[in-house]
Chain A
Amino acid sequence: MEFLTILYFIYTFIAFYILMIYVLTYIQNKKQIYEIVQPNKILPLSIVIPCFNEEKTIAKNIEAFLSSDYNGLKKIIVVDDCSTDNSYNIIKQCAKKYSQVIALKTPKNTGCAAGAKNFGAKYVTTELIGFSDADSIPSKNAISQMIGFFNDIKTGGVTSRVFVSNPKNFLTRIQAIEYKIIAFTRKLLGFLDSIYVTNGPLSIYRKKAFDQVNGFDAKNMTEDIELTWHLVSKGWKIQMSIPAIVRSSPPTTIKSWFHQRIRWNVGGMQTVAKYRKKILEVGMLGYFIMPFFIMSWFLGLTGLFFLLYRLTRYIIVRYLIIKYSVAAQVALITMQDLSVSPSILFFFGIFLFTVGFAYTITAMSISKEKGFITGHPLRDIFIYSFFYLLMYPPLLIVAFYKYMRGYNTW
């Protein structure tokens, strides 16, 4: 058997195995996906919101938390990270108006959300601590849908489901699909104690757990991934509440999207590097989350190289054939060229894609807000499945290059 055929089989096997984990987890836990766990008692909570130049959204964010139906929300601590716009004045006005709101300002710009979050966390005395991004709007019942998961004393963190707010252009519409699939997948991973990130728009932690890991790592580009891994490595459980919805604004331009994805990937690499010794050592982090992370990189890269190699070779051969055929004045295409007999690899590929696409449609239909079946035009789902996902591996390569060069720009 050829090397490329063996590689293709390995690739397909791993990809199919991961997909099967999701599919079976979904089938076995279908009824529990939307499960709302009622809290045994009201746990006091403080929300910390880091803010840097968010004058347009910060007031809406604060108001959204103020309108929360959760009675245990004691404080909303808004930390201005030395904004250069009017953010801090807006925060101060809110603090004056609402007793729950506390306005803070870092002595100097920390340069990252983690710095401002850690600064705000020092002022938290409640049993639970939550964090939100200044441009995110949680739904009225988001917090109350999350608290019940803390009934389990081993739960260290609970994360919410992020939806894209008002997807206006094509890029944001595609990201809206992506966010829904991410949320669905994350929920499924929750059933396996394998949630690897608690999102920035709204996540709540047990303060004791948060303090045990000394808060966020300000050196990490994705402090939320790092914190999650840190908590899991200490034996804490992470849960996700699907009914807890928070709306966030994704990047609207290719440039900002690219920048965000590079940051996410570099942060992921920093986290893997930091916890590399835990691989195959500590519970689900070492036995599944880390291998899963590394495997998804391997799959992305081998898939890309495989595709590029085959495509480049095919294009060059076809180009030369056309060039020589034109020079020889013979037919460019013959019946022999059109007559193909698909190989087993082709059928495996089609099968994998079909199951993957069915998974995407299921994720969409479960997360739908409006519309028939998926809530999104099928065209957008096709573009997401065929083209958008192909962007991941090249991003990974760029991120790896930047990681090696010590990239740490927010």
Chain B
Amino acid sequence: MLKSKKHVFWEALLVTVLIFLIGIFFGMLIETGNSNKINNFYIRSEISLTDAMANSRLLDNSNLNCESLKTKNINFADQVYEEAKLLEKYEASGKLTEGIKLLHKKYDLLRTILWINNQDSLKRCNNYNLIVYLYEYETKQVEKKATQEVWSKILLELKQRQSDILLIPIATDQNLTSLNLLLDQYQIKQFPALIINNDKILYNLESPETIQPLLN
């Protein structure tokens, strides 16, 4: 005769908990691995930024080549931009740990410093274009999300067309004091927004052609 085997409820619970723990452990392992990978990139970028800042200081005291400074800054910004793309990819898959989010914040601070550093450099050399793209990182509004994505595409296309553009995308909702001060200075309250060559502010971007006339 058939016998009830109700202990299976406990066994199933145990197996489920075990599978979940293993899954979460591996998930955390993968996410931590991704964070470490980005962190290594970040350390390299931080070194590059410090180097760029030292270059700018040198510019104060000597007749350093503006062309060399421009190339270095643009290359550095491009490197950070590429790393940001990887960061974004990992961020989308990061569900368990906060590591990637913190790294995003660190990158935004890095880019803010890059922007500050380039304010003087641009004034002195005026041989390249600086576009600061300000966006909201944690927006839930679908329209804003879509707009920001298209703006990114427009800026990328513009950058491919014109090589002398230093593009700095910065998330504005990361609660960075230095960034907030800069935003107050430019009186920017609405996002997404573009600051072109530290002068003109755009709140509407229809195509790459909208920016083209505003560049050097």
- B4: chain A residues at CB < 8 Å are 191-193
Q: CA–CA, A401 to B34, complex, Å?
A: 47
Residues on B with C-beta less than 8 A from A343 are 27, 92-95
Interface of A is mostly: helix
> Is chain B's binding surface mostly helix, strand, loop or mixed?
helix
Interface assignment of B11: CB less than 8 Å from any CB of chain A: yes
A339 surroundings in chain B (CB, below 8 A):
89
State which of B5, B89, B142 has its C-beta within 8 Å of the C-beta of A313: B142
Interface string of A337-356 (1 = CB under 8 A from B): 00111111111100100000
A-side contacts of B156, CB under 8 Å: 334
Measured CB to CB, the closest approach of chain A to B158, in angstroms, equals: 9
Residues of chain A with a CB closer than 8 A to B23's CB: 344, 347-348, 351
Q: Which residues of B contact A345 (CB under 8 A)?
A: 95
Chain A binder among B59-67, B108-116, B145-153: B145-153
A84 within 8 A of B: no
User: In B1-50, which residues have CB < 8 Å from any A CB?
Assistant: 1-2, 4-6, 8-9, 11-13, 15-16, 19-20, 23-24, 26-27, 30-31, 34
Assess whether B16 is in contact with A20, with CB atoms less than 8 Å apart: yes
B206 touches A327 (CB 8 A): yes
Give the complex CA separation of A351 and B205 in angstroms. 43
Alpha-carbon separation in the docked complex, A152 to B4 (Å): 13
Instruction: Name the A residues within 8 Å of B208 (CB-CB).
Output: 328, 330
- Once the chains bind, are A21 and B12 in contact (CB under 8 Å)? yes
Q: Are the C-beta atoms of B150 and A341 separated by less than 8 Å?
A: no
Taking the nearest CB of chain A, how far is it from the CB of B125, in angstroms?
Answer: 30
Q: Are B145 and A330 in touch, CB under 8 angstroms? A: no
Does B157 belong to the interface (CB within 8 Å)?
Answer: yes
Please report the total number of B residues contacting A with Cβ < 8 Å.
Answer: 45
A348 to B20: give the CA distance in the assembly, Å: 9
Are the CB atoms of B142 and A317 closer together than 8 Å? yes
The verdict on B207 contacting chain A, using a C-beta distance below 8 Å, is yes
Q: In the docked arrangement, what's the CA distance between A37 and B2, Å?
A: 9
Interface residue B154 (Cβ < 8 Å from any Cβ of A):
yes
- How far is it, in angstroms, between the C-alpha of A323 and the C-alpha of B31 when the chains are bound? 34
Q: Does A16 contact B (CB under 8 A)?
A: yes
Out of A152, A316, A330, A346, name the residue touching B150 (CB < 8 Å).
A330
Question: In the assembled complex, which residues on chain A have CB atoms less than 8 Å from the CB atom of B147?
Answer: 320, 324
Per the 8 Å Cβ criterion, residues 117-162 of B in contact with A are: 142-143, 145-147, 149-150, 153-154, 156-157
Complex: A158 Cα to B27 Cα, angstroms: 46
Stretch at the interface among A23-31, A296-304, A370-378: A23-31
Q: Is the CB of A328 within 8 A of B142?
A: no
Contact (Cβ within 8 A) B93 A328: no
Asked if B96 is at the interface (CB within 8 A of a chain A CB), the reply is yes
A-side contacts of B9, CB under 8 Å: 21, 192, 288
The answer, yes or no, to whether A404 is at the interface (CB within 8 Å) is no
In the complex the two chains form, is B95's CB within 8 Å of A321's CB? no
Do B16 and A320 touch across chains, with their CB atoms under 8 A apart? no
> Is A331 in contact with chain B by the CB < 8 A criterion?
yes
Does A17 interact with chain B (Cβ within 8 Å)? Answer: yes
Q: How far is the CB of A329 from chain B (nearest CB, A)?
A: 6
| In the complex, chain A residues whose CB is within 8 Å of the CB of B146 | 316-317, 320-321, 323-324
Check A334 against B153 for contact (C-beta < 8 Å). yes
Query: Is A409 an interface residue, CB under 8 A from the partner?
Result: no
Known: A21-B12, A24-B11. A328 touches B1 (CB 8 A): no
Selected from A29, A37, A342, the residue in CB contact (under 8 A) with B1 is A37
Asked if B76 is an interface residue, CB under 8 A from chain A, the answer is no
A192 / chain B contacts, CB cutoff of 8 Å: 4-6, 8-9
A324 to B16, CA, bound (A): 45
Chain B, Cβ-Cβ closest to A323: B146
Question: What B residues does A320 contact at CB under 8 A?
Answer: 142-143, 146-147
Identity of the chain A residue whose Cβ is nearest the Cβ of B147 in the assembled complex: A324
- Closest A residue, CB atoms, query B149: A321
Contacts A16-B16, A328-B150, A330-B154 given; indicate if A341 touches B27 (C-beta within 8 A): no
- A151 part of interface (Cβ distance < 8 Å): yes
B85 interface residue (CB < 8 Å to A)? yes
**Does B90 make an interface contact (CB < 8 A)?**
yes
Bound complex: CA of A190 vs CA of B150, how far in Å? Answer: 57
Q: Inside 8 A of A336's CB, which chain B residues have their CB?
A: 85, 88-89
Q: Taking A320-B146, A334-B153 as contacts, is the C-beta distance between A328 and B92 under 8 angstroms?
A: no
Point out the residues of chain A lying under 8 angstroms from B157, CB to CB: 330-331
CB of A367, distance to nearest CB on chain B (Å): 19
- Shortest CB-to-CB span from A347 to chain B, Å, is 7
Given the complex, which residues of B lie within 8 Å of A25, measured CB to CB?
Answer: 5, 8
Whether B16 contacts A13 by the Cβ 8 Å rule is: yes
Whole-angstrom distance between the Cβ of A266 and the nearest chain B Cβ: 29
Q: Any chain B CB within 8 A of the CB of A408?
A: no
**A residues engaging B (CB < 8 A)?**
1-2, 5, 9, 13, 16-17, 20-21, 23-25, 28-29, 32, 35, 37, 151-152, 190-193, 239, 288, 313, 316-317, 320-321, 323-325, 327-331, 334, 336, 339-348, 351
Contacts A152-B1, A346-B93 known; 17 new A-B pairs at CB < 8 A = A17-B13, A17-B16, A20-B15, A21-B9, A24-B12, A32-B2, A191-B4, A324-B147, A330-B150, A330-B154, A330-B207, A336-B89, A340-B92, A343-B94, A344-B30, A344-B96, A348-B23
A–B Cβ pairs within 8 angstroms, 6 of them: A5-B95, A191-B5, A317-B142, A321-B146, A328-B154, A340-B89
